[in-house]
Structure 1
């Protein structure tokens, strides 16, 4: 999806908000991009801070000795 920013007459891209799935303007006019609002941005930040999101890592072998 796309549209036009009324302030600058520049085409803007509309994406799905990663927080709520709603429409979000992906342009400089949206200070919360790629989120649709400050609320969605803060919820996502809180999830990272409480370690609800994590990058999976393989456990080292039991006989591995760090130097």
Structure 2
């Protein structure tokens, strides 16, 4: 998806679900990424393509582009 949106070269980090045990739409992956990279929701935008991922972003308080 990142390559299709032509934004893969703009990203410093890409986080995957291997960081946590919970599955979507639990916000655990986002919270783990925030903790690991010392970020907060005001500095993050998520690119998502399913309603589960959009719900996950909203639960984590993150802006989402779908």
How would you bin the TM-score normalised by the shorter chain? under 0.3
TM-score (normalizing by structure 2): 0.20
Question: Who wins on radius of gyration, i.e. which is larger?
Answer: 1
Higher helix fraction: Structure 1 or Structure 2?
Answer: 2
Higher relative contact order (CA 8 A, sep 6+): 2
TM-score computed with the length of structure 1 as normaliser: 0.20
